C-alpha cells in the first residue's frame, strides 16, 4: 500500500502524525531550539495533501487543528504558572486555562489548513500557498481581540542569529512566511525534477539568508564608551511575595540597595521593571513617605529613574480608572522632576482587561476569571523625549510582542527613538520557559527597528540587547543584581522601519499568484 493509501486507510495515524508535526515545529522555538523540528511543517503539508477523500475539508481542518495543539502545547504550558500565585483559590483553573487557550490558538491553524485545501493548489507552487495560508492566519492571530502573536514561526530563529536578521527586511510576519515556505519545501521533493529543483532552490535561499545575516552582524558598529550609562535593576521579587504586605519594606529595600550599588561609572539612568514596587505610584512617591525618602536617597542629583507601576487616573470614579504606567523621573537637588509618563496601550486580554466587559459581567464570567475592573488603556505609544537622554520608545511587557509598535509611534510623533525601553513583569511566568521565550520575542523588535533595547524584569531575564537582537549582558531567571552598560548605538533606518508590513503583503501576493497559477495549470 502506498503512503497516500496508508494515511487514507488509517485516519488515526494521520491525526497522530499531525500532532507530531506541530510538536516538532513547537520544539524548534527557543528555548528548546530543536531546529530540525521545522520539518514538521513539511509533514503537515504532506498530511493536508492526503486529507480524506470523502470529506477533505473537514479532514484537513482537523489535522491543522491537531497540529496547532501540538505546536502550542510546548509554547504555552507556562500559562498554568500565574494561577499558582494564588494556588489555594485559582490553582484549579490552571489546566483549564492552558487547555482552552491552546485549543483556541490551534483554531487558527485549523482555519489555515481549511483555507489551503479550499484553494486547491497543486504542484510545487502549493508550498507558497501553504505559506500564505498559515502566515495569513498567524497575522490574524496577532490582531484578533488585541492579538496574541506569541511564538510566530518567523521567531523560531534565535534572536541575534544570522537568519533572524531577515526581520530587519520583512519583519516578523514576513519572516514567518519565509520560514513556512522553506520548512515546507521538502514535502515536494518526490515530485520529479521540479520538486527536487524547488527543494534545492529553497536550500539556496536559506544559505543566502544565513550568509547575509553573517555579513550584517560582522558590520556591527562598536558601542561608544561615552554613551549614556544604563543600570538595569533585577531585584528577584517573586510574584506571590508582592501580595504580602509584611515584605513590602524589604522589596523597597532591595530596589534601593541595587540602585545605589557602587559602580566604576555613575549610571545616567536607572531602570526598574514593570510593577517594581507593589503599590500605587502616587502612594509610595507621596511627599513625606519613607518610601519616597529612601528612593530619593538612592539616586544622585541628575540621575534619571525609569520604572513601571500602576496609578490612578481618577480614583473617585466608579469603577476607578487605573493605568499600568511607565514613569520617568529626574533626581534634582530638591526632589523629583517628572520627565515623562506612558500608560500602557495594549493590555493583556483576560489578564489586564476582560473583552466584552459589560456582557461578561452580566453572564457572571467576570467573577469567574478574577480580572476585576482591570486597567484602562492609554493612548497609542509614542517616543519619550526629554533633555538628558536620547529619545526612547517605552513598551510595557506584552507590548513587546507586536511588530511595528515602535515604528507607528515614531511616525505619529515625527521622532525616531534611539532605543527601546521594555519594562516587564515576567515574575508571572515563574521558573518556566516563558521568560526565555519572551526575551527572544522582544529581541525581534530590536532587529526590526535597528534599535537597541533595554529590558528590565523583576525575576529575569533582564538584558541589554543591541540593535541586532543580541544580548550583550543579561541576568538569568532567579538572579539578583544589576547590569551596567553604556547604551549600544542605533542603526540607520531598516527596510522594515521604512516599509512596515508592505514586504509581508508582497509575499502574500506571491501566495495568491501561486494559487491562481497552480489552479490554471491543473
- Residues annotated as catalytic are 274, 344, 397
Could you tell me the sign of the dihedral formed by the alpha carbons of 131, 45, 155, 354, in that order? positive
Q: What's the rounded Cα separation, in Å, for the pair 126 and 8?
A: 20
Q: What's the rounded Cα separation, in Å, for the pair 502 and 518?
A: 24
Cβ(295)–Cβ(285) under 8 Å? Answer: yes
- Residue 460's CB: how many other CB atoms inside 10 A? 24
- Residue 121's CB: how many other CB atoms inside 10 A? 26
Q: Angle at CA 237, nearest 5°, toward 426 and 425? A: 20
For residue 9, CA distances in Å to 14, 46, 340, 392 come to: 9, 15, 65, 59
Q: What's the rounded Cα separation, in Å, for the pair 164 and 384?
A: 28
List the one residue out of 485, 428, 484 whose CA is nearest residue 458: 428
Sheet with 304-314: strands ordered across = 335-343, 321-332, 304-314, 269-271, 229-234, 481-486
What secondary structure, in 3-state letters, does 218-230 show? Answer: HCCCCCCCCCCEE
Q: What's the rounded Cα separation, in Å, for the pair 282 and 461?
A: 28
Amino acid at each position: 500500500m502506498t503512503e497516500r493509501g496508508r494515511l487514507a486507510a488509517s485516519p488515526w495515524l494521520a491525526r497522530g502524525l499531525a500532532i507530531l508535526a506541530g510538536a516538532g515545529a513547537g520544539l524548534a522555538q527557543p528555548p528548546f531550539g530543536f531546529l530540525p523540528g521545522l520539518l514538521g511543517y513539511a509533514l503537515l503539508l504532506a498530511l493536508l495533501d492526503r486529507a480524506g477523500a470523502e470529506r477533505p475539508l473537514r479532514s484537513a481542518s482537523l489535522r491543522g487543528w491537531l497540529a496547532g495543539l501540538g505546536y502550542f502545547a510546548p509554547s504555552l504550558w507556562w500559562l498554568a504558572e500565574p494561577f499558582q500565585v494564588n494556588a489555594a483559590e485559582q490553582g484549579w483553573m490552571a489546566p483549564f486555562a492552558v487547555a482552552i487557550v491552546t485549543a483556541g490558538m490551534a483554531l487558527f491553524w485549523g482555519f489555515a489548513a481549511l483555507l489551503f485545501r479550499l484553494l486547491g493548489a497543486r504542484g510545487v507552487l502549493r508550498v507558497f500557498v501553504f505559506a500564505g495560508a498559515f502566515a495569513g492566519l498567524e497575522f490574524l492571530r496577532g490582531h484578533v481581540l488585541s492579538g496574541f502573536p506569541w511564538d510566530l514561526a518567523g521567531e523560531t530563529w534565535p534572536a541575534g542569529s544570522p537568519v533572524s536578521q531577515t526581520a530587519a527586511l520583512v519583519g516578523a510576519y514576513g519572516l514567518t512566511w519565509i520560514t513556512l515556505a522553506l520548512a515546507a519545501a521538502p514535502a515536494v521533493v518526490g515530485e520529479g525534477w521540479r520538486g527536487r529543483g524547488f527543494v534545492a532552490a529553497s536550500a539556496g535561499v536559506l544559505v543566502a539568508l544565513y550568509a547575509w545575516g553573517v555579513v550584517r552582524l560582522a558590520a556591527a558598529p562598536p558601542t561608544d564608551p561615552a554613551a549614556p550609562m544604563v543600570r538595569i535593576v533585577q531585584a528577584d521579587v517573586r510574584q506571590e511575595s508582592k501580595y504580602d504586605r509584611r515584605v513590602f519594606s524589604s522589596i523597597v529595600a532591595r530596589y534601593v540597595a541595587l540602585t545605589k550599588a557602587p559602580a566604576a561609572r555613575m549610571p545616567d539612568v536607572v531602570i526598574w521593571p514593570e510593577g517594581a514596587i507593589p503599590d500605587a505610584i502616587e502612594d509610595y512617591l507621596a511627599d513625606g513617605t519613607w518610601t519616597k525618602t529612601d528612593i530619593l536617597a538612592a539616586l544622585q542629583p541628575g540621575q534619571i529613574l525609569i520604572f513601571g507601576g500602576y496609578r490612578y487616573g481618577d480614583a473617585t470614579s466608579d469603577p476607578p480608572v487605573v493605568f499600568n504606567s511607565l514613569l520617568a523621573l529626574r533626581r534634582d537637588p530638591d526632589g523629583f522632576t517628572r520627565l515623562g509618563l506612558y500608560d500602557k496601550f495594549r493590555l493583556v486580554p483576560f489578564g489586564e482587561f476582560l473583552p466584552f466587559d459589560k456582557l461578561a459581567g452580566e453572564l457572571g464570567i467576570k467573577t469567574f476569571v478574577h480580572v476585576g475592573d482591570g486597567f484602562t488603556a492609554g493612548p497609542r505609544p509614542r517616543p519619550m523625549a526629554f533633555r538628558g537622554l536620547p529619545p526612547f520608545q517605552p513598551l510595557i511587557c506584552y507590548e513587546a510582542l507586536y511588530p511595528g509598535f515602535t515604528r507607528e509611534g515614531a511616525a505619529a510623533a515625527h521622532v525616531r527613538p534611539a532605543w527601546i525601553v521594555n519594562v516587564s513583569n515576567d515574575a508571572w511566568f515563574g521558573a518556566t520557559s516563558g521568560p526565555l521565550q519572551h526575551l527572544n520575542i522582544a529581541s525581534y523588535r530590536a532587529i526590526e527597528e535597528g534599535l537597541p533595547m533595554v529590558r528590565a524584569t523583576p525575576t529575569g531575564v533582564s538584558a541589554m540587547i543591541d540593535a541586532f537582537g543580541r544580548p550583550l549582558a543579561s541576568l538569568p531567571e532567579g538572579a539578583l543584581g544589576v547590569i551596567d552598560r553604556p547604551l549600544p548605538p542605533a542603526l540607520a533606518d531598516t527596510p522594515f522601519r521604512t516599509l512596515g508590513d508592505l514586504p509581508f503583503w508582497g509575499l502574500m501576493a506571491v501566495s495568491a499568484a501561486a494559487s491562481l497559477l497552480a489552479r490554471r495549470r491543473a
